[in-house]
Homo-oligomer: A and B are copies of this chain.
Amino acid sequence: MAARSYGQYCGVTTAVELIGERWALLIVRDLLVGPRRYTDLRRGLPRIPTNILSTRLKELQEGGVVRRVPLSNCGLVYELTPYGRSIEPIMLALGRWGFQAMGDPEPGDVITADSLTMALHTAFRADRAVDAEYELHVGDVALRASVREGELRVAQIAPPAPPVGGSLPDAEPDAVIVAGPGIRRLIGGEVTPAEALAADIVAVVRGEASLLDSFAATFHIAASGVPSPEHE
């Protein structure tokens, strides 16, 4: 029996041995957004030590969760295997579960492009979705979220986008929404869109302010049971 094995013959235990080590699930979260290079993963996980990142990538490969793919031109990327990708619904559900217990950010907490992308998918309600194109800015992260026919697609926008003529791939968004971490309160339904605007939690800097209602309907995480009554 491996040294750090839990010593149980059980599906949950096997899962935890595959993706339960420290940082492993966050690596998988970022890879669910798309294939990433070693350096991309480092940027998306600012506090991960580099030796831990390479150790985890090796372990995830041995577990059949992640695959290493050389790029045709140069370099290489890590990507999920089909088996690794099949964890997506679990990741989304886990994100919703954790969302209920999120308080306000601790000093030093960051919001990364991949985590916000995943959070949008987590909060996406296909049944209530209103078709629209949003540009969303939270902290340093800028995303383009396209809601079309009940489907969500999220693309990351490079922050210092130099406006070189002709290379802009997207049409103008219907609304440009600028927010901070307090956007959690809007998605969680703690505040209405009107209250969020009034309290400066979010701002609609382009497009009609009413599109914030569509946004709040499309991206919503209901407090299912009890979020977490007593906290430390």
Chain A residues in contact with chain B, CB under 8 A? 1-2, 5-16, 18, 20, 22-23, 25-26, 29, 45-47, 62-65, 81-83, 85-87, 89-91, 93-102, 105-112, 115-116, 118-119, 122, 181, 221, 224-232
Contacts and interface: CB of A to CB of B under 8 A. Distances in A.
Contacts of A105: 9
A163 B23 CA distance: 51
22 contacts: A1-B108, A1-B109, A7-B46, A7-B110, A8-B115, A9-B181, A11-B99, A11-B102, A12-B95, A14-B98, A14-B101, A15-B97, A15-B101, A16-B25, A16-B26, A18-B98, A20-B20, A62-B232, A64-B228, A64-B230, A83-B100, A83-B229
B106 A10 contact: no
Nearest to A44: B8
Contacts of A94: 11-12, 15, 90
Given A90-B97, A101-B83, A231-B64, A118 B226 contact: no
Contacts of A109: 1, 5, 7-9
Given A25-B20, A98-B14, A86 B224 contact: yes
B112 A11 contact: no
Given A15-B97, A93-B93, A110 B8 contact: yes
Nearest to A2: B106
A62 B221 CA distance: 23
Given A90-B94, A232-B62, A226 B81 contact: yes
Given A6-B23, A16-B26, 8 more contacts: A7-B46, A7-B109, A8-B26, A10-B116, A16-B98, A83-B100, A83-B229, A86-B97
A9 B111 contact: yes
B81 A47 contact: no
B12 A29 contact: yes
Nearest to A103: B14
Contacts of A93: 89-90, 93
Nearest to A94: B15
Given A64-B229, A93-B90, A226-B82, A9 B110 contact: yes
